[in-house]
């Protein structure tokens, strides 16, 4: 809505950020597709090994041995020095145990079949995983420590592995592992998840829309935790003038650094905003770092918003708590500064509601009061201003917003005009109009940029004194 200084151009809300982590392998540990494998950038016909990379007691390993689960295939991967975990995951054999223990079971069976195999010299490091599985317990502990004190129900786990390791593992596993054996990234993620569930059984691992996203860098064992935001829908009433809807950076320092002398170090042009009056109590309740405010349009700083209030969604970033009674939160907010801003109808929502709120174009009802340069009778005012009811306006971009709005002519319909009141040289009336109508310009015409206008039909200069949003008809 125009007179609300709103950025009426609807912002495109992107899908939730979780999909940006796809390359990190989020959710892959949940895949049970036996055909899944890590794609290699190498030519599929190129052999990663030439047959002379591994030796068993001075003898080159026979790379033409049958793949697992054949006994000779299992013996072969034992000879090249795979760890017990990798032996189990590429063997294609059913065992009583899983993971390391399952590999030990397979290794003992192979030794029983071939006593010479037990005397094979193993390399210092597993050629499939480079002994990553030895770090599973350490990584699980680091993840649990990183989320200590954070309330959540669902988690998404991503793994960063070196590309060369993925390529070499894929080459060996594809040729010598069983058909459908699970790739390294999937197996490693699953191993971490299993270890975490032993320590924190209430965690649910998901692919989409988690409460927390965790990435693990296997080179450094670094764990990065991203707490996903929560969203609250509601309506706000702005009961006083002089408060912007969202934070307004200082015109001098633009909110950079530690502020400036002009803003007294706050970085803000206005100390208060609807966003902070609502958001600060919510931040305290949920232990969050910050908020973002998404409103259904916005009103000018000098405009009140009354009635049932303006719909909004408050995005709460990095919350330590995610479960709180909206009714109690509403009471807390309304006790913060009840003479300035109040909220109602609070409820939890999702990021999709941000799009819904910002894209909804609702008619709005206003009351506006203005001063004229020449007195007018109430009858004349009622008759003249009433002619604008049902009219479609043509409004060029107002001068006051020309620095941030495209220069074009907009057509907006005035649905109705009522309650015309004249008090000496001041006139007041109510109207209902289409979303995006510049109501102040409807009155004073903005030097003819709005046509028709109140100024043109009463043939007088008009100066707007105040404007109130009476209702936003969004339901």
Measured distance between the N- and C-terminal CA atoms of the chain, rounded to whole angstroms: 17
- DSSP conformational letter for 190: H
- Distance (Å, whole) CA 2 – CA 364: 11
- Distance (Å, whole) CA 92 – CA 99: 12
Q: Check if 300 is active-site.
A: yes
For the chain, give percent helix, strand, coil, nearest 5. 30, 25, 45
Helix (H) or strand (E) holding 89: helix 84-91
CB contact set of 368 (below 8 Å; sequence gap of 6+): 428, 429, 430, 431, 439, 440, 443, 464, 466, 467, 468
CB contact set of 416 (below 8 Å; sequence gap of 6+): 389, 390, 431, 432
**β-strand pairing of 392-396 with 363-372:** unpaired
Phi, psi (5° rounding) for residue 386? -60, -25
CB 3 within 8 A of CB 300: yes
Can you spell out the DSSP letters for 91-160? H----SS-HHHHHHHHHHHHHHH-GGGGGPPPPSS-TTTTTGGGGHHHHHHHHHHHTTT---SEEEEEEE
Alpha-carbon distance values, 468 to 311, 327, 440 (Å)? 16, 27, 11
**β-strand pairing of 212-217 with 154-160:** parallel
- Distance (Å, whole) CA 66 – CA 444: 88
CB 258 within 8 A of CB 290: no
Residue 430 burial by Cβ neighbours in a 10 Å radius (0-12, 13-18, 19+): middle
- Distance (Å, whole) CA 58 – CA 67: 22
Candidates 395, 389, 366; CA nearest to 297 is 366
CB contact set of 438 (below 8 Å; sequence gap of 6+): 2, 3, 395, 398, 412, 446, 450
Choice among 3, 84, 300, 353 that is catalytic: 300
Phi, psi (5° rounding) for residue 166? -60, -40
Catalytic residue numbers read: 300
């Amino acid at each position: 809505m125009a007179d609300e200084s709103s950025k009426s151009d609807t912002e495109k809300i992107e899908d939730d950020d979780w999909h940006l982590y796809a390359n990190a392998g989020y959710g892959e540990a949940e895949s049970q597709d036996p055909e899944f494998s890590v794609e290699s950038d190498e030519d599929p016909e190129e052999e990663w090994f030439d047959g002379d990379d591994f030796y068993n007691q001075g003898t080159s390993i026979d790379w033409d041995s049958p793949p697992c689960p054949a006994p000779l295939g299992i013996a072969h991967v034992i000879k090249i020095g795979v760890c017990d975990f990798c032996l189990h995951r590429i063997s294609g054999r059913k065992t009583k145990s899983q993971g390391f223990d399952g590999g030990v079971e397979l290794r003992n069976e192979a030794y029983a079949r071939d006593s010479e195999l037990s005397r094979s010299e193993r390399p210092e490091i597993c050629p499939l995983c480079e002994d990553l599985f030895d770090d599973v317990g350490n990584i699980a502990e680091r993840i649990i420590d990183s989320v200590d004190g954070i309330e959540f129900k669902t988690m998404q786990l991503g793994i960063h592995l070196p590309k060369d390791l993925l390529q070499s593992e894929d080459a060996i596993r594809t040729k010598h592992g069983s058909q459908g054996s699970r790739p390294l990234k999937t197996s490693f993620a699953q191993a971490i998840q299993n270890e975490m569930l032993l320590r924190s059984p209430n965690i649910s691992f998901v692919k989409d829309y988690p409460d927390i996203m965790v990435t693990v860098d296997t080179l450094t064992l670094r764990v990065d935790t991203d707490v996903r935001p929560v969203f609250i829908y509601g309506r706000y009433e702005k009961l006083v003038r002089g408060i912007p809807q969202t934070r307004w950076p200082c015109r001098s320092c633009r909110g950079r650094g530690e502020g400036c002398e002009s803003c007294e170090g706050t970085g803000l042009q206005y100390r208060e905003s609807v966003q902070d009056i609502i958001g600060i109590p919510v931040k305290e309740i949920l232990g969050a770092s910050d908020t973002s405010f998404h409103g259904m349009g916005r009103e000018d700083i000098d405009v009140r918003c009354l009635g049932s209030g303006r719909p909004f969604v408050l995005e709460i970033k990095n919350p330590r708590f995610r479960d709180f009674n909206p009714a109690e939160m509403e009471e807390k907010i309304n006790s913060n500064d009840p003479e300035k801003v109040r909220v109602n109808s609070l409820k939890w929502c999702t990021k999709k509601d941000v799009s819904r709120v910002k894209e909804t174009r609702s008619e709005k009802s206003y009351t506006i009061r203005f001063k004229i340069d020449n007195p007018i009778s109430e009858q004349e005012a009622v008759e003249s201003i009433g002619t604008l009811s049902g009219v479609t306006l043509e409004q060029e971009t107002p001068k006051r917003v020309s620095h941030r709005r495209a220069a074009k002519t907009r057509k907006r319909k005035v649905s109705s005009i009522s309650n015309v009141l004249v008090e000496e040289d001041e006139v007041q009336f109510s109207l209902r109009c289409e979303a995006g109508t510049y109501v102040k310009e409807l009155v004073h015409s903005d030097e003819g940029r709005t046509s028709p206008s109140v100024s043109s039909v009463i043939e007088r200069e008009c100066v707007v004194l105040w404007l109130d949003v009476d209702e936003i008809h969004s339901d």
